Structure 1
Amino acid sequence: MLYNLLTPLAEDFIFFNLFRYLTFRGGGAVITALILSFVLGPWVINWLKAKQKEGQPIREDGPETHLLTKKGTPTMGGVLILLAVAISTLLWADLSNQYVWIVLLVTGGYGAIGFVDDYKKLTSRSHKGLPGKLRLVLEIGIAVAAAYWITVISPEHLQFRFALPFFKDALLNLSWLFLAVAAVVMVGSANAVNLTDGLDGLAIVPVMIATGVFALIAYLVGNAVFANYLGLHGVPGSGELAVFCAALVGASLGFLWFNAPPAMVFMGDTGSLSCGAALGTIAVITRHELVLAIVGGLFVLETVSVIVQVASFKMTGKRVFRMAPLHHHFEKKGWAEPTIVIRFWIIASILALIGLSTLKIR
């Protein structure tokens, strides 16, 4: 909004020229989201506590310590993330940019699905929220609609194309199958983050790290000079997503203040689904879908652990892990929660660096 209101005044007031720069507006978005999180956090947490007398339902078959340490902690903290991201993005981004609206709407849509899912779990006092098939249909519907919108406004040479990292000019023409692939990326990313969210601070820091990487990717892909120099497929207008990413980084950092062990609030499906969907959508827009699998490798690892566990139990009756997702396996082995969380953060950081290296290896 500030960009649209103030840049026309730059010819008369040189200070307003700052609002033309993505770096300045990105910095503003980070700070705004962080301040909003600190200001709104206590109010949101108190409101959630008032509405959730017993807090998030705790799995009885999960790690025994959770019944003691996490009982009574409110969920749906993702509302705080969504508020901070939405307000900051609307304030600092170019609102005439369609990519910004796509990511905002997908993030809000998945946040709404997560909110209803959390609400049903709370009211039923169980882990059964929305029916699995209904939830999946809603997620796919939003993802396919977003993928089609992205395709329509993408440069002609990128429409229905799937880019391969490490190869300078590799673009696969998937035709209409691209919509299905893009939807899988968005839905998969959303649910992968959702599966990772199981310990205090475990999911939000890797989300923050991955978002920071994609802020840089969006900035580079949206800049013709940098994209050409690095051999990337330029996507005009996608640089504006760096402002959204900056807002999400600030909101994540602010949420971590309240989610750090011992957590005062959990993000719930409201936060995990929306954050994951945002990352998936940005990856599709910037044509870095496979790079997301590297940068968000921790989320992939957690998801694979669940798939392997379920497949093994159904086929052989035996479990590969003591409990899935993977972080619970290490809890069952006796690792302290902070140890698991910090080591997983380290893994996420290493994978982010590997993902960043793909920008130069072409």
Structure 2
Amino acid sequence: MIFLINKYLNCKIFNFISYRIIFSLLTSFFINLFLGPYVISYLKKLQTFQIIRINGPIGHFNKNQTPTMGGILIIISICLSIFFYCDLYNKYIWYVLTIILGYGLIGFLDDYQKIKFKNSNGLKISYKFFCLSIIAILIIFIMQFNKESNIYIELIIPFYSQILIKMNYFYIFLSYLVIVGTSNSVNLTDGLDGLAIMPVIFISFGLGLIAFCSSEIHLCNYINIFYSKQANELSVLCASIIGSGLGFLWFNTYPAQIFMGDVGSLSLGGALGMISILLHQELLLMIMGGVFVFETMSVILQIIYFKIRKKRIFKMAPIHHHYEVKGLSETLITIRFWIISFILLLIGIISLRVHNAI
């Protein structure tokens, strides 16, 4: 679309990636803002209400009239923004877009199962995990066959820019874990109004900043990131995620008028994982996405400890429910998690350069 605008309207402003980043963010934001009320109204008519876990916090039962599957709105705004402002000849864009649409479809089926059978379980975990894995593995192998360099990958270690770990075929397995793991981590975190979407916005900003610098060789050498002519286009895509996330937060903040559902959380998590792989910043994602890591670890530790000791570490998992049960208000928990996520974003950005600066 940007090439048609440049050709027929002679609008050279879109030749500059900085302008496309701004327009991408604003477009996805206003699409959400405009379509939001209509989507909420339509989902209410379809009675696509959130199915509340029976063993979840008691206070959540008053949310059973809030429509879910709002992730459809997020995906639409991101895809439209990508179509308008991204270079569609860039293969990196298509890798991320495939994950967004593929994981979004799986999330849609999961949400549909919950609503249809009035059950919070949705798709069988094994079937859901299998579908997520198939898409991730397919994309990873396509990437390997179309890669400019050989199979050996250098993994950047945050805070230690002089140390690069060379990896061979194990990198394929690592990439798989990053995509599927991040997707499920965002899904687990999406349990309170606005809790998951703000960390997604922060991480998208961090990854977008790295992508923007990735095509400048001098900047790459200075802050220790991989040089790639194609990766900077991901900054426009990250901007669309930020804009869409802010637009969705308009309706998702407490008290939420709509939830993103699995269709939103799985697609956004998968997209973040995919972008971090393309930028070779998988370990940095773990720092900036520390809230997601913490939420996931709380579930894993709870399960393992209960099987061994028949006791619970937390009153309820994921960890945000633990604080709810302890009596903290939903807004207090959410805002504190936002603050932690922002601090982790800053730490992640600092880690790119800190070792060279010493």
> TM (normalized to structure 2)?
0.95
Structure 1 residue 173: deviation in Å? 3.5
How do residues 1-362 of structure 1 correspond to structure 2 at under 5 angstroms? Answer: 1-2=1-2, 4-8=3-7, 13=10, 16-52=11-47, 55-68=49-62, 70-156=63-149, 159-168=152-161, 170-362=163-355
Q: How far is 1:7 from its partner?
A: 4.0
Change in CA separation of 1:172 and 1:153 when aligned onto 2, cut-off 3 Å: farther
C-alpha separation in 1, matches of 2:192 and 2:176: 28
Q: Which shifted more, 70-79 or 281-290?
A: 70-79
Q: Distance in 1 between matches of 2:186 and 2:322?
A: 17
2:155 alignment partner, SS class: strand
Equivalent pairs, count: 355
Q: Which moved more, 1:73-82 or 1:163-172?
A: 163-172
2:53 & 2:285 partners in 1: Cα distance? 30
8 Å Cα contact 1:224/1:236 also seen in 2: no
Q: Aligned-pair distance for 1:103?
A: 0.4
- Tell me the alpha carbon deviations over residues 39-72 of structure 1, each in whole angstroms, 9 at most, x when there is no partner: 111111111111126x11111211111112x121
Pick closer, same or farther for the CA change 1:224–1:136 going to 2, 3 Å.
Answer: same
SS class of match (2:258): coil
SS at match of 1:156: coil
- C-alpha separation in 1, matches of 2:255 and 2:28: 23
* SS of residue paired to 1:129: coil
The answer for unaligned runs of 5 or more in structure 2 is none
In 2, the alpha carbon distance for the partners of 1:22 and 1:292 equals 24
| Structure 1 residue identity aligned to 2:100 | T
Q: Could you say what secondary structure the match of 1:173 adopts?
A: strand
Q: Secondary structure at the match of 1:172?
A: strand
Residues 314-323 or 224-233, more deviating: 224-233
1:152/1:206 CA distance change after superposition, 3 Å:
same
Mean Cα deviation higher: 57-66 or 92-101: 57-66
Q: Deviations over 1:122-172 (max 9, x none)?
A: 111111211111111111111112222333444416754433233435443
Q: Separation in 2 of the partners of 1:88 and 1:225?
A: 30
Deviation at residue 17 of structure 1 after TM alignment:
2.6
Matched-pair contact (CA < 8 Å) for 1:154–1:235: no
**Letter in structure 1 aligned against 2:268:** C
Give SS of 1:354's match: helix
- Separation (CA, whole Å) in 2 of partners of 1:176 and 1:319: 38
3-state SS of paired residue (1:201): coil
Partner Cα separation in structure 2 for residue 286 and residue 361 of structure 1: 19
Identity over aligned pairs, percent? 41
In structure 2, what is the Cα distance between the partners aligned to 1:168 and 1:155? 23
Q: Judge conservation of contact 2:222–2:353 (CA < 8 Å) in 1.
A: no
The DSSP-based 3-state class of the residue aligned with 1:309 is helix
1:361 Cα shift? 2.3
Larger mean Cα displacement after TM superposition, 270-279 or 136-145: 136-145
Alpha-carbon displacement from aligned partner over 1:215-261 (angstroms, at most 9, x marks no partner): 10111123323212323221220000011100010000000011011
Residues 161 and 178, structure 1, Cα contact 8 Å, conserved in 2: no
Structure 1: where are the runs of 5+ without partners?
none
Hey, what's the Cα distance between the residues in 2 that align with 1:223 and 1:145? 30
Q: CA RMSD in A?
A: 1.6
Kept after mapping to 2: 8 A contact 1:7/1:17: yes
Against the structure 1 CA distance between its residues 48 and 249, is the aligned structure 2 distance closer, same or farther, given a 3 Å change threshold?
Answer: same
